[in-house]
Structure formats: structure tokens, C-alpha cells
Structure 1
Amino acid sequence: MLRLAFALALLALPAAASEKIADQYPGSLLYSKPVEFIPGVWSAIGATAAPTYENAGHNNNLSFIVTGEGVVVVNAGGAYGLAQALHEEIRAVTDEPVVAVFNENGQGHAALGNGYWAEQSVPIIAHVDAAREFENYGPQSLADMMRLNKERGEGTELVLPTETFEDEYIIELGDYRIEARHLGPAHSPGDIVIWLPKQSLVISGDMAFHERMLPIFENTNTADWLETWDNAFEPLGATYVIPGHGHPTNMAQVRKYTKGYLEYLRGQIREHIDAGGDLTDAYYVDQSPYTLLDTFDELATKNAGRVYEQMEWE
């Protein structure tokens, strides 16, 4: 009951991110110590800043579910050492073995820790597109991580997922039905969410953001992302959301800062295009309602330019 009260209290809080805090857990490579959000569901909340040496590249959420019959991990971690540090925290919580690891997408911070889990003989599961993305761009992700993390990245090697799926992958353990779902195009190729229907909780990965500004990549189609949101993500009706970045929250919060932001930015760019504006000026359309989000300075102009390039041909 105390944990549930704590979770409900968190849901009522405004966004309270930590972009300027170098490290919240000095005794570990993890940026923060895992916390139990609802019974059995834990998450080590990453920095809402860009990856740095100080945060060891832990700038996304590393979650795990203690089912009573084994532990399911969501995100392998962005380096061998981060995966190992997460496993140490799991062992401090339970004697149950880790039985599966999901990569929420093919980005480095979701999958560069695969090598550690492979050493533990744990199945590593991802969407087929995420596995392909990691195979294609993993070498660059590894090089970038090592340049940043230096000795903190030691031991990291490229290891691909051992199992892939296209639509859904279901694990039933104890009282938990764990549904890994590919809902459709969103932030990056092969994005998945982990849906716990009995707990009404979704570990959304990069489907949903709130404390930090979402990045729009060259291969991010914002119109498709909005369609996936409306047709597949919103209908989940989740009570609790653990996003890819930032603290656990609720649907209203991620709706405001993900769907709301995408719709707002597309609206600004549409007005700009209709007025005859070009790419040079598109970078500077008004995004002032979102200036308080972490990574705004790094991402706002890039996002605007990429949305212009998309919408110019819609």
C-alpha cells in the first residue's frame, strides 16, 4: 500500500527532471538507484541529459520486473558495465534469475549492454527492425560510446539480440503477463512497448516522453508517430507509464509532451510553409511552450528542421 501511495503521489507531480545533475548514485555506474514504482516493477531512471562521461551514458530508463518466477529486464544498458551494475541491483532485490532481456529499440543505450547479458546466457529479445538497426549502426554507437565513456565502457562488445519478433512477444510468469508489442512506426525503427495488462502499466520506451524534449531523427516520421499514438498506444488506457526517459508518470503527462508537442510543432511548421517560409527560417519557429524541457537547447532547432523537410512533401 505504501508503494502504491508513493506511485500515485509521483503521478500527481509536475515534471521534475535532472539534466544538470551529473550523477545521483556515486557508488555505481548507474545514474540513479532503481526504485520500485508499483509492486514488482523497478526502474533505474537515467539522466534526462545527453550521454556524458559523468552519467556513464545512462540517460535512459533501465527497468526490470520481478515476477516471482524470474526477472524480466527492459533495456540491456548502454555499456557492459551498466548492464553489470543493473544486475548487481537486481541481485540485491531478489534471488530470482534474470530470464529475459528486451531491447526497446536498436539504439546504443538500449542494446550495447547485450554482451553482458549474453555472458549470463539470458535470451535477448528485440523487434526485427530494431535488431537490423543495431546491426547496421551498432559499430558507430559503440565507437561513440567508447569515445565518451573511456575506461567506463571497457568490456563492451557488439552482440545482437538472440530472438526477434514482428508484432508481439508474450511472457507469462507468476502474476505477470508481459506483452512486448510493436505498435507501429514511432520514434525509431523497431520501437516496442512492454504492456502489463493486469497492472495497467506500460513501459513505453521512446514511444512517449515528458521531462526531456523528444528528438526527431532523420528516419522519424512524425505523422506516422501520431497515427500510431492514436490507433495503438492511447487505446491501451494505461494508468501508469514508465517512459523511455524521465520519471514514471501517467498518460496525461506523456500525451501533453509527446503527442501535444508533435502536433504543436507540425502546426507551427504548417503555418510557416503556407506562408512561403523556407528551411532556413523554419529552424526558428516558435517553440516557447516547451523551453522548460531538458535538452530543449540541443534539439528544438534540429526537430523543426526535420519536420519542415518531412512536411514540405506531405
Structure 2
Amino acid sequence: MKRSILAIALLAAPALASEDIADQYPGSVLYSKPYEVLPGVFSAIGATAPPTYENAGHNNNLSFIITGDGVVVINGGASYQLAEALHLEIKAVTDQPVRLVFNENGQGHAMLGNSYWVDQGVEIVAHVDAATEFESHGGQSLRAAQARVLEKADNTRVALPTQTFDDSYLVEMGDMKIEARYLGPAHSPGDIVIWLPQKNLVVSGDMAFHERMLPIFEHTMTADWIETWDTEFEALKATYVIPGHGHPTNMDQVRRYTRDYLVFLRAQIGVHLDEGGDLADAYYVDQSPYTNLDTFEELATKNAGRVYEQMEFE
């Protein structure tokens, strides 16, 4: 079993993820059952499709670390019920209590489940910018989740992190050192990574994608994301990566489908601008090298348009 897990981590075959794969864990609101990526580090891999009623909004990875003196959870989850379901899975593999939850960013699927963890008396930590983002837009995220997953959002409410930090938040618990780091501007406000130096593993959150196309939001500054990647993320020299979406993998894979995709798209838009192209045609610049990624059809044209709007004034 461990050999197959390592094979997944090192080879990261994109065929493992698909928007068309149905729920993998009947009987649980979780899309898939958590598995042990490396000793003591587990992750429940979310769907690589957009959030739907069928996947209960579990389209990101919910991870946890068993330290020997407690459990640290990474991501509050997209609802009270998803967080509760993850907690049941944690209790099935350890008697250690959950002591801390990290929110990887300020999006609903990272923070809406905070409502469950707060009720358990667990401390919740996020970057200050992520907390501000959720405070401003959490109500909107909650309403969208309620409209999308209906009764599967029952009991979910907006609950803010109980602690925030600016640059890093260090935890020594049991025999584990856990470092939450803000590396710089990336996908969304307050994106953080969780670095486990003893395991040479980074839980990258939305810093890194590889099985689904990354989304570029209005506030996603792609040039800044590339700079953060080159100067800070690569410096970790991680062997293993648990991305925000998709299966555990390695740096080569996430570099190819995150950093290199951003560079590629900016180059395509740069040529388009040099040729006097307008926004209407920018949506259709060639992105064919990335058509294998899930959510390509939903995101490729939007990404191109947003990069055009950014680069037009750079």
C-alpha cells in the first residue's frame, strides 16, 4: 500500500482526477475517504470539478496531521457537515484530539466549515488578509453554498478565524514541526502554505495546481504569483506536494501546471497585445497545451480575459 501511495506522489498521473468521476465515498458527505499520504499525514482529496450538490462542495483537499500530541487540520471545509465528516474520519484513526485548524485562504471552501470547529472549541488560524477577505465576503460565500448544496449546508454559518498572523505561524506539537507561511501574493488574498520540514512535504493550498486548471480571479495578480513562486515557493525544495486541489504530487508537476501555465498564458496575451488585439479576441488565445486539465472549459477563456485586463496596463 505504501508503495502505491509513493507512486502517486512521485508520478502524479493526471488520469487519477476527472470532473466525470462520481462520488468516491458513498455514505459520507466527503467526496473521498482520507488516506495516509506519508506517515501521519492524511488527506481527503476533493473533486476536481466545480462545487456541486453531488460533491457537497468538497472540491478541495481537506488534510490533517497526527503529531503524537494532537491533530492539526488544514482547511475548515466548505460546510459544517464536511468538517464534521472529516472529524469522524480523524477519530477513526487516532484518539488524539484536534487542537488546531489552519485555513489555507479566505475562500468559502477553506473557511465555511469553521462553524463546526469553533463549536468544538478548536483554535482556527489564518493569514490576516484571508480573515479580512472572509469577513467581507463570507456571507456571500455562505449564501452561494446554501443555494448550491441545499440541506448539505445545514448548520453552516460564518465563523471567523480565532487567530491571525502576517508572515509565519510556527507549531511544535508532539514530534512534529509545522510551519504555516505566507510566501507572498499568489492565487487569492492570504494564501498560505503548510511546510513540514521533517517530511520535506508542503501542503501548498492554492499556491499550486496540477490536475485541474487554476482559476485567475479579478484580484489574482499573475506577475506577482510567478515572482512569489520563483523566489519563495521553489526555495522550499519540497519533495512532496499536497496541492489545494488534486492528488499529492511533486514539484515538477505543480510547476508545469501552475507557474509554467501562468508564464505561457502571459506570453500568449503579450503577443496578442503586441499585435493590437482586443479583449474580445483575447478570450480565444491558444491554450491547447492545457486542454487535458479538468475545469479547462469553465476557466480557460475567463483566465485569458483577466490576464489581458492586467497586462493591458502593466
The structural deviation recorded for 1:21 is 1.7
Equivalent residue, structure 2, for 1:42: 42
Q: Does residue 20 of structure 2 align to residue 20 of structure 1?
A: yes
The structural deviation recorded for 1:29 is 0.3
The structural deviation recorded for 1:22 is 2.8
Q: Read off the aligned partner of 1:65 and give its amino acid letter.
A: I
The structural deviation recorded for 1:13 is 3.8
Q: How do residues 32-111 of structure 1 correspond to structure 2 at under 5 angstroms? A: 32-111=32-111
The structural deviation recorded for 1:40 is 0.2
Q: 3-state DSSP class of the match of 1:110?
A: helix
Q: Read off the aligned partner of 2:91 and give its amino acid letter.
A: R
Q: How do residues 193-212 of structure 1 correspond to structure 2 at under 5 angstroms? A: 193-212=193-212
The structural deviation recorded for 1:176 is 1.1
Q: In percent, how many aligned pairs have the same letter?
A: 71
The structural deviation recorded for 1:119 is 0.6
| Residues 138-193 of structure 1 deviation map (CA, whole Å, 9 limit, x = unaligned) | 00000000001111110001100000000000111122100000000000000000
Q: 3-state DSSP class of the match of 1:53?
A: coil
Contact in 1 for aligned 2:12/2:253 (Cα 8 Å): no
Equivalent residue, structure 1, for 2:4: 6
Q: Read off the aligned partner of 2:135 and give its amino acid letter.
A: E
Distance 1:205 1:13 in 2: 17
Q: Read off the aligned partner of 1:12 and give its amino acid letter.
A: L
Q: 3-state DSSP class of the match of 1:33?
A: coil
Q: Read off the aligned partner of 1:280 and give its amino acid letter.
A: A
Q: 3-state DSSP class of the match of 1:223?
A: helix
Q: Read off the aligned partner of 1:166 and give its amino acid letter.
A: D
| Residues 68-111 of structure 1 deviation map (CA, whole Å, 9 limit, x = unaligned) | 11000000000000000000000001000000000000000000
The structural deviation recorded for 1:294 is 0.2
Q: How do residues 275-290 of structure 1 correspond to structure 2 at under 5 angstroms? A: 275-290=275-290
Equivalent residue, structure 2, for 1:166: 166
Contact in 1 for aligned 2:12/2:248 (Cα 8 Å): no
Equivalent residue, structure 2, for 1:222: 222
Q: 3-state DSSP class of the match of 1:242?
A: strand
Distance 2:227 2:260 in 1: 13
Equivalent residue, structure 1, for 2:242: 242
Contact in 1 for aligned 2:12/2:250 (Cα 8 Å): no
Q: Read off the aligned partner of 1:9 and give its amino acid letter.
A: A
Q: Read off the aligned partner of 1:169 and give its amino acid letter.
A: Y
Equivalent residue, structure 1, for 2:305: 305
Question: Structure 2 regions of 5+ residues with no counterpart?
Answer: none
Q: 3-state DSSP class of the match of 2:28?
A: coil
Contact in 1 for aligned 2:209/2:254 (Cα 8 Å): yes
Once the two structures are overlaid, the 10-residue window that deviates more, 289-298 or 20-29, is 20-29
Distance 2:4 2:108 in 1: 32
Distance 1:183 1:48 in 2: 25
Distance 1:70 1:238 in 2: 24
Q: Read off the aligned partner of 1:32 and give its amino acid letter.
A: S
Question: Moved runs in structure 1, 4+ residues, more than 6 A?
Answer: none
Distance 1:114 1:44 in 2: 17
| Residues 228-252 of structure 1 deviation map (CA, whole Å, 9 limit, x = unaligned) | 0000001100000000000000000
| Residues 240-269 of structure 1 deviation map (CA, whole Å, 9 limit, x = unaligned) | 000000000000000000001000000000
| Residues 12-71 of structure 1 deviation map (CA, whole Å, 9 limit, x = unaligned) | 242121211231101100000000000000000000000000000000000000011100
Q: How do residues 76-155 of structure 1 correspond to structure 2 at under 5 angstroms? A: 76-155=76-155
Q: 3-state DSSP class of the match of 1:30?
A: coil
Distance 1:265 1:178 in 2: 34
Q: 3-state DSSP class of the match of 2:87?
A: helix
Q: Read off the aligned partner of 1:192 and give its amino acid letter.
A: I
Q: CA RMSD in A?
A: 0.7
Equivalent residue, structure 2, for 1:274: 274
Q: Read off the aligned partner of 2:288 and give its amino acid letter.
A: S
Distance 1:62 1:13 in 2: 18
Q: 3-state DSSP class of the match of 2:99?
A: strand
| Residues 193-245 of structure 1 deviation map (CA, whole Å, 9 limit, x = unaligned) | 00001100000000000000000000000000000000000110000000000
Q: Read off the aligned partner of 1:195 and give its amino acid letter.
A: W
Equivalent residue, structure 2, for 1:232: 232
Q: Read off the aligned partner of 1:14 and give its amino acid letter.
A: A
Distance 1:297 1:103 in 2: 28
The structural deviation recorded for 1:7 is 3.1
The structural deviation recorded for 1:6 is 2.8
Q: TM-score, normalised by structure 1?
A: 0.98
